[in-house]
Amino acid sequence: MLQASPDVLPLGEKPLTVSELTRRIKFVLESSFDVVLVQGEISNIRQPTSGHYYFTLKDEESQLQAVLWRSRVANLFFTPRDGMKVTVRGRITVYEVRGQYQLEVIEILPAGKGELQIAFEQLKAKLFAEGLFDPAHKKPLPPFPERIGVVTSITGAAFRDIVSVLRRRFPALEVIIRHVPVQGEGAAEEIVRAIEEFNAWGQVDVLIVGRGGGSIEDLWAFNEEIVARAIYDSKLPIVSAVGHEIDFTIADFVADVRAPTPSAAAEIIIRSREEFLELLRQSVYTMNDFVTEKIQSGRKEVETILGSYAFNQPRDLLQNRMQYTDDLLRRLGQGMNVLLERRRLGAISLSRQLSHLSPDNVLQRGYAMVRLDGEIIPEASLLSKGNLIEIQFRDGFVDSTVDRVLANKLRRVKRVQKQNSEDSS
């Protein structure tokens, strides 16, 4: 009689498949742990086209695979990177295909956050609860802005980037700069004051509020509660443009639109000249298609009436149908005339806006363009005594030398306010 050797499997015992064993391990692990809190260092982080984050969480002795699904990535206020120490809240799961256990991340935060980071999170939670981030409160950007206000430091790179992009995309666009300090003591109060001034003036269509990149301390003015509430209370739509793409501030969450960089803010606000022309062409095509469809639909309806059974009935029914047909054709013609007139006026309006914003028409209205070494100078502060400049009027050019430069934070605002006070008196 055969007997099982202790070195081999017992006779009659059915072995488990790899999948069965993996499922048992998965059940034991996932049922043994609820939500866990783990701290470690990120390494080998990657984000494929799916949008999920995959990374290793490690310490001096061990490592653990982790995954952050795309649906939770949108809630991040920072970008995870290799070498970053983090605290992760998540669940232990088993990836059956590879037979490995991993941490499914629910929330991830930088470990050892300082007082500023804690204050950031607390204010963010407070304002979120009050509804300041609610998408329903976001104001749409104007499709055809004629005058843009910018709240930033004129000594920073953000100012130069914004002006450069706007000049390239639509040179005739009017830009009003309100210089403010963007970091340090009193910066938040100055930013609030500038936003309130633009709202009181009411002569710009949209605002850009921002600065270049920096540390959390450098960007802190845009994390102040008074700045967040000023942006929320603004009647003018505001585009935030603070730092680089990876930087997030409270101002970004409250603003109507968040731009990843100052240059991107300028591109978001104003279409290029070519885009304006394409929009006009598309409007004409849409109008033609709409009118053609209406005519074809009306013709088919008339043909249906003429071929109907009731149309061939005695004279009284015939007369009623003929009268109905005449009325239908009359209303169809009136409707098409109204539609064509509306489309025509819309095309004329777009054409006038393009003409109004052209550099030649700006000169015809009494303005002049100043150039230094062939470059247009939008601000007096960009000139220095002794500069040789060229001034273009509608009927010619004048060469001149700068004798002195008078700087002003918001000369246009003060000039308009002064004129208003003179008119009222």
Q: For 32-63, give the DSSP string.
A: H--EEEEEEEEEEEE--TT--EEEEEE-SS-E
Q: What is the pLDDT of residue 149?
A: 96
Low pLDDT (below 70) residues in the chain: 1-12, 75, 77-78, 112-116, 118, 272-273, 276, 308-319, 356, 407-425
CB 356 within 8 A of CB 144: no
Q: What CA–CA distance (Å, rounded) separates 268 from 259?
A: 8
Domain residue extents for the chain: 18-111, 118-270, 359-402
Provide the CB-side half-sphere exposure for 169 (13 A, CA): 24
Q: Which helix (H) or strand (E) holds 127?
A: helix 115-130
At position 329, the amino acid (one-letter code) is L
Report the length, in residues, of the chain: 425
At position 26, the amino acid (one-letter code) is K
At position 74, the amino acid (one-letter code) is A
Q: Which residues contact 131 (CB under 8 A, 6 or more apart)?
A: 137
DSSP state of 330: H
Q: What CA–CA distance (Å, rounded) separates 228 from 232?
A: 6
Q: What is the pLDDT of residue 112?
A: 59
Q: Which helix (H) or strand (E) holds 1?
A: none
Q: What is the pLDDT of residue 422?
A: 57
Q: pLDDT tens digit string along 316-353?
A: 666 677 778 878 888 887 878 888 888 888 888 887 77
At position 396, the amino acid (one-letter code) is G
Calculate ∠ Cα 249-253-259, nearest 5°.
75
Topology annotation, domain 118-270: Rossmann fold (3.40.50)
User: Position of tokens 């850009």?
Assistant: 208
Orientation of helix 262-269 relative to helix 157-169, angle to 10°: 30
CB 370 within 8 A of CB 398: no
CB neighbours of residue 68 within 10 Å? 25
User: Position of tokens 């295909």?
Assistant: 97
Is 2.40.30.170 the CATH number for 18-111?
no
Q: pLDDT tens digit string along 187-210?
A: 999 999 999 999 999 999 999 999
